[in-house]
């Protein structure tokens, strides 16, 4: 039954949280191992005007995007973890400048800055596993990679999960 003034949405199905695909241009093999990703929070902090009585909220001008964190299964050869490790290491070049040079010679890099970055794409899948939304993360830069714990006392096989965190310029629904 339809109430007056209240249109019925076209799609009444709720969104499932387990239908997604994430890819980084720089590390395409990572796509098949992503276990968890969160669309980061965004905010537009108010700058406000203080008065003797109260603060009057006024919208700010600078968006804040929270960090992007992914959780992924580490493949049997550790290739996806090592690729992220080398990307991060190359930006900090802890041993020599050659580690940095390897990173800025990344294929398709137009500038030295673009070599440190990689766009990411999150595809949200519907109930038929077709893409219903695409979210583009622009200029992702890896900022951290978690520690890995190997444990010989476990009786069950618990596969290793990697966590990587990224900063980025912005994201948008495309």
CA atoms within 13 A on the CB side of 120: 31
pLDDT of residue 108: 53
Helix intervals (H) in 36-145 = 79-92, 97-104, 112-115
Q: How many angstroms separate the CA atoms of 147 and 164, rounded? A: 10
Q: Which residue is associated with the tokens 């050869």?
A: 77
Does residue 46 lie within any of the structural domains? Answer: no
Mean pLDDT per 10-residue interval, the chain, length 174 residues: 72 87 92 96 88 87 94 96 90 73 60 74 92 96 95 88 97 96
DSSP class of 8? P
Question: Does residue 92 fall inside a structural domain?
Answer: yes
Nearest CA to 63 out of 81, 40, 96 is that of: 40
Q: How long, in residues, is the chain?
A: 174
Q: What is the pLDDT of residue 61?
A: 84
- The count of domains in the chain is 1
Give the model's pLDDT for residue 72: 97
Q: Domain holding 138: CATH number?
A: 2.30.110
- Any idea what DSSP says for residue 56? E
pTM of the complete model beyond 0.75: yes
- Looking at residue 167, its pLDDT comes to 97
Q: Give the residue numbers spanning the domain of 124.
A: 20-40+59-173
Q: Are 84 and 145 in contact (CB under 8 A)?
A: yes
Closest CA to 137 of 43, 23, 36: 23
Residue at 78 is within a domain: yes
Does residue 6 lie in a domain region?
A: no
pLDDT of residue 113: 56
Asked if residue 12 belongs to a domain, the reply is no
**86 falls within a domain:** yes
Q: Does residue 45 lie within any of the structural domains?
A: no
Domain-embedded: residue 4: no
Q: Enter the tokens of residue 123.
A: 């595809």
CB 109 within 8 A of CB 128: no
């Amino acid at each position: 039954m339809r109430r007056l003034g209240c249109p019925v949405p076209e799609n009444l199905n709720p969104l499932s949280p387990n239908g997604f695909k994430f890819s980084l241009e720089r590390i395409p093999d990572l796509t098949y191992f992503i276990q968890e990703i969160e669309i980061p929070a965004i905010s537009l902090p108010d700058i406000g005007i203080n008065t003797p009585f109260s603060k009057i909220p006024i919208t700010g001008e600078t968006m804040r995007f929270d960090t992007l964190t992914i959780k992924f299964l580490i493949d049997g050869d550790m290739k996806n973890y090592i690729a992220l490790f080398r990307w991060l290491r190359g930006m900090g070049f802890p041993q020599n400048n050659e580690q940095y040079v390897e990173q800025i010679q990344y294929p398709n890099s137009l500038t030295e800055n673009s070599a440190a970055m990689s766009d990411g794409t999150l595809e949200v899948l519907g109930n038929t596993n077709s893409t219903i939304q695409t979210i583009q993360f622009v200029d992702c830069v890896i900022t951290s990679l978690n520690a890995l714990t190997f444990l010989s006392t476990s009786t069950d096989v618990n596969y290793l999960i990697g966590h990587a965190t990224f900063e980025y310029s912005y994201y948008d629904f495309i």
